[in-house]
């Protein structure tokens, strides 16, 4: 989308839009307007990023045409092969993609690259190790978890008996509460990972609790996967039984999911993805995932991951200097939450106002949120996308000051 020097625009996208517009002027125009929004806005949504032109090209390749239900034949897992002919080359691609992701995370875990999204990866991961009605111990949405970690409106909350562990008064995961509830409720699986948690997650401590409780440990590293790959966040490999992730957040790849697991769970995981949860895999997206893995193995990616964390710390510190309440008092990764509980407006109000000013972020619940998920008492801020566009610490400090100016204007209007 943007080159690694942060320059606006790309020849690939402009030509692509022009080509689409010849066939469908309406669709081409809508894509053009979204491209302009992405090019001109300051993008702070923690779950978004910009993938390379090579990833985009792979996702738009002739692989879009190919059906390949099933898996490449594998004596180790017992996969019996595809249900369609003509799969020689997509078999090679999928096996290559799996190998590259094991290389990225320096692991011998089995990997399934077929999940269409992180949510579908989590759906299949649960299916592989537990049954409906079983107890799951996880982090709630209000405390920084994800919908698929047991929200009552999600399949996870409807299919399983969910118990939530808490954060302490400072917003940190309360490991004593995790252990206490694990021993009290005997969950079949403990979920570690979050969509809005700013601190290092102690996977070793989670693993020890899971072992004591006789539970599986499932880690959802969708948000921090790029930081793990870049060596700036501890790895869950070696501790977790199953690990899920997306490829489009801090990894800067296509929209999609991955599942890693201990070898003894491989057959159950693969069966839970296909045929249980999905039909034909998206081989064009798998090609994009393979390119993404190669990019994550480059020295430049490690520099990028390090800069994401440096930028986020500088960004959060600047907000603290400006008088804002940051959940946990700072950040160790790519994201943090601004607590607006004492403000006369909601997180949604600020999100909408910033949208008008060319700054994109999202409303988000904070621990103890009294406004609810539709309005929220906070906003979530991330540094991964603008770091891709070349932003450094001083750039984010300036963005914090710009947001502060907008907040002050909103406070004045509220009087």
Owner of token pair 């595809």: 82
| Cα distances (Å, whole numbers) of residue 313 to 279, 327, 339, 354 | 42, 13, 16, 21
Pairwise CA distance, residues 265 & 272, whole Å? 11
CA separation for the pair 222, 284 (Å, rounded)? 21
SS (H, E, C) 386-414: HHHCCCCHHHHHHHHHHHHHHHHHHHHHH
290/113 Cα distance (integer angstroms) = 9
Strands (DSSP E) found in 149-283: 161-165, 189-193, 216-220, 242-246, 257-261
Closest CA to 415 of 345, 353, 323, 363: 345
Residues contacting residue 65 through CB under 8 Å, at least 6 positions apart:
none
For 252: left if phi > 0, alpha if psi spans -120 to 50, otherwise beta; the answer is left
Q: Which of 374, 288, 313, 274 lies closest to 49 in space, CA to CA?
A: 288
Catalytic residues: 67, 69, 220, 246, 249, 255
- Distance (Å, rounded) from C-alpha 2 to C-alpha 48? 14
């Amino acid at each position: 989308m943007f080159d690694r020097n942060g320059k606006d625009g790309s020849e690939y996208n402009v030509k692509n839009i022009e080509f689409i517009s010849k066939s469908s002027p309406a669709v081409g125009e809508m894509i053009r307007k979204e491209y302009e929004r992405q090019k001109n806005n300051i993008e702070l949504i923690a779950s978004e990023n910009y993938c390379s032109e090579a990833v985009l090209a792979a996702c738009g390749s002739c692989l879009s045409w190919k059906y390949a239900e099933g898996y490449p034949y594998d004596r180790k897992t017992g996969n019996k092969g595809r249900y369609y002919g003509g799969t020689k080359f997509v078999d090679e691609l999928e096996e290559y993609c799996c190998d590259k992701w094991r290389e990225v995370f320096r692991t011998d875990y089995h990997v399934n690259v077929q999940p269409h999204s992180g949510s579908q990866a989590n759906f299949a991961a649960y299916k592989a190790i537990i049954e409906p009605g079983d107890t799951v111990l996880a982090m709630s949405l209000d405390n920084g978890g994800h919908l698929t970690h047991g929200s009552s409106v999600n399949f996870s909350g409807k299919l399983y008996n969910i118990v939530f562990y808490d954060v302490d008064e400072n917003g940190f995961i309360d490991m004593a509460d995790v252990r206490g509830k694990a021993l009290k409720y005997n969950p079949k699986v403990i979920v570690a990972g979050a969509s809005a948690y700013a601190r290092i997650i102690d996977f070793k401590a989670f693993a020890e609790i899971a072992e004591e409780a006789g539970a599986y440990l499932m880690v959802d590293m969708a948000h921090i996967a790029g930081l793990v790959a870049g060596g700036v966040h501890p790895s869950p490999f070696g501790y977790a039984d199953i690990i899920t992730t997306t490829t489009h957040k801090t990894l800067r790849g296509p929209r999609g999911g991955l599942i890693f697991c201990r070898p003894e769970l491989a057959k159950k995981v693969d069966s839970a993805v296909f045929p249980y949860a999905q039909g034909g895999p998206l081989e064009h997206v798998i090609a994009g995932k393979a390119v993404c893995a190669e990019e994550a193995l480059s020295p430049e990616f490690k520099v990028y991951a390090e800069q994401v964390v440096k930028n986020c710390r500088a960004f959060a510190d600047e907000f603290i200097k400006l008088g804002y309440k940051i959940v946990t008092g700072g950040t160790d990764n790519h994201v943090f939450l601004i607590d607006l509980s004492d403000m006369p407006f909601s997180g949604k109000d600020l999100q909408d106002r910033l949208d008008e000013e060319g700054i994109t972020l999202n409303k988000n619940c904070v621990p103890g949120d009294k406004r609810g998920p539709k309005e929220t008492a906070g906003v979530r801020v991330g540094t991964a996308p603008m770091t891709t566009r070349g932003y450094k610490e001083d750039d984010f400090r300036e963005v914090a000051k710009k947001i502060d100016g907008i907040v002050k204007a909103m406070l004045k209007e509220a009087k």
